[in-house]
Amino acid sequence: MPQIDYIQRQDVLALLPRRPAGSHKGSFGTVVAVAGSLGYRGAAALCVEGALRGGAGLVYLASVEEAVQTALARTPEVCVLPCRASAKTGGIDPVHAATVRAHFAGQNAVLLAGPGLGQGAAALLPALLKRPAPWAAIVLDADALNALAAKKRPPRLPAGTVLTPHPGEAARLLGTDTAAVQADRPAAALALAERYGCVAVLKGSGTLVATPAGTLWQNTSGNPGLARGGSGDVLAGLLAALLAQGLEPAAAARCAVWLHGAAADRTAKRLGQLTMLPQDVFADLGALLAAAER
């Protein structure tokens, strides 16, 4: 049995980025979300709001026009790069990957790819990750993980990459089944980190954060009210924001999963696990962080 450290409140609060009085938006980094499609517009909106609420100085969304409009209706603070939709998949036309890379060359931005991309992720991902990658760090979630899993051999991912699979996605990435992943979650998390050479976040009850060096942490916050579509999109955006503010990947992952879970615990007390929605967590994340700042 591997040694497991537990993610605790005091450790997370000590890691959170500070905001000096002389700060400006450039002080807190840039997140570029390549997310959403005609069928999954809400995923884009939730992940960019997660990045904004997580403190990133600038958040961009590259997506199809319909997803862009959905996101702007919720968060007018997001900057947008509207993309043409693929007639085949309803997702972002892959020609836009080169445009996104070129737009952020030299800007040290954090890439968040995957939420709601649909089948178009398979064509987009290689171009987004092509070396030399212009990204300071990368979060791969949802459909980006399925695109990775479809490759015959694990690709060499850029430094600073974090994978955020749920058990089903983890099973595909490891070439096994969900039951095997759930039977030994610590082993699965460590196997993901070793196989892909990056930090892996295995979501679920007691979310695990693993590094290629074999270090393993288990989250101590969260509840079953998070078990619905959209929760992972919020988490991915929050994680990308913490990376953009300079946290190293394992620290950003630990902070993101604990904050997301702790905010959801407040939401569950306020609304109940049955009726709470992923978007409801944002209000409680704000209350949680405001209390920490006092």
| 112, 31 Cβ separation under 8 angstroms | yes
Q: What is the pLDDT of residue 292?
A: 82
- pLDDT score recorded for residue 133: 87
Q: What is the pLDDT of residue 156?
A: 86
What's the pLDDT at 152? 87
Q: Which domains does the chain have, with CATH numbers?
A: 5-16+28-293 (3.40.1190.20)
Q: Are 56 and 245 spatial neighbours (Cβ–Cβ below 8 Å)?
A: yes
What are the distances in angstroms from CA 48 to CA 13, 42, 65, 266?
23, 10, 15, 22
User: Is 55 buried (19+), middle (13-18) or exposed (0-12) by CB count in 10 A?
Assistant: middle
State the pLDDT at residue 256.
98
Q: What's the rounded Cα separation, in Å, for the pair 215 and 253? A: 13
Q: Which residues of the chain have pLDDT under 70?
A: none
Query: Which residues make Cβ contacts (< 8 Å) with residue 193, sequence separation at least 6?
Result: 199, 200, 210, 211, 212, 214
pLDDT digits (tens, 9 = 90+) for 279-294: 999 999 999 999 887 7
What's the pLDDT tens digit per position in 127-168? 999 988 899 999 999 999 999 999 989 888 998 999 999 999
* pTM, 2 dp: 0.98
> Among 158, 226, 167, 235, which residue's Cα sits nearest to residue 198?
158
